[in-house]
Amino acid sequence: MKIGIIGTGIVGQTLGAKLAERGHAVMIGTRDVAKTLARTEPDAMGSPPFSVWTKQHPHIKLRTFAEAAAHGEVVINAASGSASIEALKIAGEANLRGKILMDLANSLDFSKGMPPTLSVCNTDSLGEQIQRAFPKARVVKTLNTVSAALMVNPHRLADGEHDLFVSGNDPEAKTQVTHYLKTWFGWKHVIDLGDITTARGAEMLLPIWLRLWGAFKTPNFNYKIVK
């Protein structure tokens, strides 16, 4: 399958590498290809620059946001929450129309330092904002409640016996995304929360997620729903 990924950070890199390993044709999009490749400093999390990563994955193409969105039969939003709407606008509404758009982003506001707060919450969500901005895209919120490493390898924790969520207005798109999550990455348990408004709940898990990271000193954890 052709997959377009919006965003060159650790999430985009981790998903891109895994999907390419599974035989998918992956294209990662950035605002400015030349500038992205010219960076030599680590990112905000201390990860090596994209120019180092891309040399290790020469089969994954780096192109513009618009080219990556046009390439993808499925498009994955792995941009930061604050940059997501603008990045997707640059990607182009026409390139997203009718396609499943998996939204992984969180609306984290780092303006007051750590830990970040949510810039969107309670009565709205980033997932809803993206769906409103691109009404013809089939937005499914998912994977935003786990680290990048767990996204692509849930079995690294408790033999995969933990839970992931999907939210979206299109039932068929959610069913397809659930299939992707299970077949691409090995997720066993995916809970359909409901329409895109339920992304509010998934996104508002981030404040406690961040504090758990601080308490555990590792992002290698997840939620298990017991009923």
Reading the chain (227 residues) residue by residue, the pLDDT tens digits are 999 999 999 999 999 999 999 999 999 999 999 999 998 887 767 778 898 999 999 999 999 999 999 999 999 999 999 999 999 999 999 999 999 999 999 999 888 888 888 999 999 999 999 999 999 999 999 999 999 999 999 999 999 999 999 999 999 999 999 999 999 999 999 999 999 999 999 999 999 999 999 999 999 999 999 99
User: What's the predicted TM-score (pTM) here?
Assistant: 0.95
Cβ distance 94 to 140 under 8 Å? Answer: no
For the chain, the domains span 2-216
The Cα–Cα gap between 190 and 195 comes to: 15
Mean pLDDT score of the chain = 95
Among 33, 25, 27, 22, CA closest to 12: 27
Structure tokens at 201: 């709940």
pLDDT digits (tens, 9 = 90+) for 175-194: 999 999 999 999 999 999 99
CATH annotation of 2-216: 3.40.50.720
The Cα–Cα gap between 29 and 61 comes to: 9
